[in-house]
Structure 1
Amino acid sequence: MDKVLLLHSSTDGQTVKILNRIKDELSELYHCDVMDANTVPDIDFNAYSKVMIGASIRYGHLNKKLYQFIEKYAEALKNINAAFFCVNLTARKPGKDTPETSKYVQTFIQKSPWTPEVMDVFAGALYYPRYRWFDRVMIQFIMRMTGGETDPTKEIEYTNWDRVGAFAHRFRTL
């Protein structure tokens, strides 16, 4: 059974949840290793037939450690079947939910030395009761500016799971 490496750069866990759903979709065909790209030790990419990276946006940016990881492994990533997805709350809005229309994915493509073969963007989730005070206030401010939910008692998952499944299928066909 081929091995697949599934990497995440997650802040509040929705990216990990999405990656685990993808793992479930792939598990009949592949052995899947799931790792945190922000803390993973050295990786032997020769042990894997494919790689997927999922990353979340916090306050308008991907984690700097993700970019460091990609710079470190750029050549290996260029030489393996690979996919990337971005998770953010802006993608809850039609017209901002594709790699071509997501400013975050476009910024990633400009800043990264690696351009994945397959990409997508998924809406994340709001978990107000789980956030620290500062994060809750900042996210409420951003959501107020963008016409989103601001009730601090709400937990809302915006992720389109059918779309995640379709992305897993596209990854299988790489």
Structure 2
Amino acid sequence: MEKVLLLHSSCEGQTIKILNHIEQNLGEQYQCDYVDIHLEPKIDFSAYDRVLVGASVRYGHLNKKLYQFIARNLTSLEQAKVAFFCVNLTARKEGKDTPATSAYIKKFLLKSPWHPKMMAVFAGALRYPRYNFFDRTMIKLIMKLTDGETDTTKEVEYTDWQKVSNFSQQFKAL
């Protein structure tokens, strides 16, 4: 049985939901451990056969704790079986949903000393009723500017689960 470390930097939980889907796709021959990067964990990477890092974008940025984690663990992250994915609402649009076309991946690669060999971009979820007043107002403004959903009574999940499943199979083959 292979051990897999599923690291996450999540704002509203969609990144963790995507990791759950990936774990299901990996199957029973993989034992998965979840670790929140925001808790600044100390990890023995040698205990794992493969590592997956998932991070969400909030207000145009990945969390600074992700970059701090990468700086502390760069050597370990540069091992052969490590992959990365980014979750954001911009990826709901065709042409902004691949590592080559994602502005957030481009920013990540400029800012991070770690350049994962395997990457993906997934659309996130819009959860207006769950946001506080400030977040709901700001996200509504951003969505209006980008021709997105502005009805604050709605929750919309943009994640393409087939794309996540395909990524899971590529991660298995890594």
CA drift at 1:141 = 0.3
User: 3-state SS of the aligned residue for 1:33?
Assistant: strand
Aligned to 1:5: 5
RMSD in angstroms over aligned alpha carbons? 0.8
Q: Shift of residue 79 of structure 1?
A: 1.9
Q: In structure 2, how many angstroms separate the alpha carbons of the residues matched to 1:128 and 1:101? A: 27
TM-score, scaled relative to structure 1: 0.98
What is the CA distance between 1:40 and its match in structure 2? 4.3
Secondary structure of 2:39's counterpart equals coil
Q: Which residue of 1 aligns with 2:86?
A: 86
Partner of 1:44: 44
Q: Secondary structure at the match of 1:38?
A: helix
Task: Please name the residue that 2:25 is paired with.
Answer: 25
Superimposed CA distance per residue, residues 82-128 of structure 1 (whole angstroms, 9 cap, x where no aligned partner): 10000000000000000000000111111111111210000000000
Output aligned runs, 1:125-140, within 5 Å: 125-140=125-140
1:29 positional shift: 2.3
- What is the Cα deviation at residue 46 of structure 1? 0.3
Identity %: 61
What secondary structure is seen at the aligned counterpart in 2 of 1:73? helix
Aligned length: 174
- 3-state DSSP class of the match of 2:121? strand
TM-score (norm 2): 0.98
Question: In 2, Cα distance between the equivalents of 1:34 and 1:88?
Answer: 20
Equivalent position amino acid for 2:137 in 1: V
Structure 2: segments with no counterpart, 5+ residues: none
- Aligned partner of residue 113 in structure 1, secondary structure: coil
List, as ranges, runs of 4+ consecutive aligned residues in structure 1 with deviation greater than 2 Å. Answer: none
Cα deviation 1:16-67 (Å, max 9, x = unaligned): 1001110111132211101111114210000001100000000000000000
User: C-alpha distance in 1, partners of 2:13/2:104?
Assistant: 18
**AA at the equivalent of 1:108:** F
Paired residues for 1:135-150 under 5 Å? 135-150=135-150
User: In structure 1, what residue type is equivalent to 2:77?
Assistant: L
Corresponding residue number in structure 2 for 1:68: 68
- State the distance in 2 between where 1:41 and 1:116 align: 20
Q: Could you tell me whether the CA contact under 8 Å between 1:49 and 1:80 is conserved in 2?
A: no
Name the amino acid aligned to 2:107: T
Unaligned ranges ≥5, structure 1? none
